[in-house]
Amino acid sequence: MPQLRKDPVLGRWVIISTERAKRPSDFSAPEQGQRSEPDRCPFCPGNEKMTPPEVTRRPLDGDWRVRVVPNKFPALTVEGGTERAGAGIYDRMNGVGAHEVIIETPEHDRMLADLAPPAIAEVLEVFRARALDLARDERIRYVLVFKNHGLSAGASLSHSHSQLIATPVVPVRVKAELEGAAKYFDFRGRCIFCDMVKQETEERVRLVYENERFVCFEPFAPRFPFETWLLPRAHFSGYDGLSDGHLADLAEALHECLVRMNRALSCPDYNFLVHVAPLVGDGNEHYHFHIELMPKLTRIAGFEVGSGFYINPVPPEEAARFLREA
């Protein structure tokens, strides 16, 4: 069973996945290519037996358009309690949680950016359904939905998919965002993300795209070149605030951002993450639902890992201009 271990200085939890444990020689093998053939692809229709038993699908009957399966090599597993234990000065707990794969389309060579907004909305609806379903398990404290697209962004299979990991602790990065947002709320009585939406839609220099319910912009202090954030104009903090109208507008906004990114940057590998307030506890007033989209253009080197400081060679105002004009 995987173990969660806590860094005693930083309070950051690390997943030590014993089931996928590797030997040193596993690392010297050349990296696996990402292109797979449809007949051997576990995510293609007809090969459903190659995945663990299905969690859900859309539509529920007949041929599927979106399919959710447990990850075959899960970082966390559903069995077991969340007992914590000490080991001298250290702390650990069982690696309880869930790790699921959302197959976004039955078509092997279709990328998320190639899907029409209504098909993207169906994928987003599945994110919402899975997050709200997992939230009913009281061992789960957070559900992180993310996508790795392309080998350099961490995808090991080319058939378009996203993932979710449900964790028994709130991830340190989310916790830091929650604390920062709470501090601002205490001081100003307003949500910092709402203030960002206001400033970005007024100044417009970092704006990439907007529609009725969503605003897409390059953040003021982006870690990565062409990092883009998608925020709802009106305040809500979790999946339960994401109405069907929001889904439609978010799908359109995500499609627009992906297509512009692909045009401006020749279809780069990328990651995106959905940040929501934790499933338990408050955060509804000061935390704001958002998606962070990051093309993989630079390497994270020693300085970044060691300092948490990022060096970004593209001012967000210029990146936004390129994306607006793409």
Find the binder of a second copy among 64, 127, 209, 272 (CB under 8 A).
272
Position 144 contacts a second copy (CB under 8 A): yes
Find the binder of a second copy among 165, 216, 257, 277 (CB under 8 A).
165
Q: How far is the CB of 66 from a second copy (least distance, A)?
A: 19
For a second copy (CB under 8 A), the number of binding residues is: 91
Q: How far is the CB of 33 from a second copy (least distance, A)?
A: 14
161 labelled catalytic? yes
Position 174 contacts a second copy (CB under 8 A): yes
Q: 46 to 65, contacts with a second copy by CB under 8 A? A: none
The region of 116-124, 193-201, 231-239, 246-254 touching a second copy under the rule CB under 8 A is 193-201
Task: Say which of 99, 149, 159, 161 is annotated catalytic.
Answer: 161
On whether the CB atoms of residues 226 and 188 are closer than 8 A, the answer is no
3-state SS of 99-150 is EEEEECCCCCCCCHHHCCHHHHHHHHHHHHHHHHHHCCCCCCCEEEEEEEEC
On whether the CB atoms of residues 162 and 126 are closer than 8 A, the answer is no
Retrieve residue 223's tokens: 């870690």
**Angle at Cα 11 formed by Cα 194 and Cα 141, nearest 5°?**
60
Contact code string over 84-123 relative to a second copy, x by CB under 8 A? ---xxxx---------------------------------
**How far is the C-alpha of 191 from the C-alpha of 179, rounded, in Å?**
12
**How far is the C-alpha of 166 from the C-alpha of 161, rounded, in Å?**
17
Find the binder of a second copy among 50, 176, 234, 280 (CB under 8 A).
176
| Active-site residue list | 161
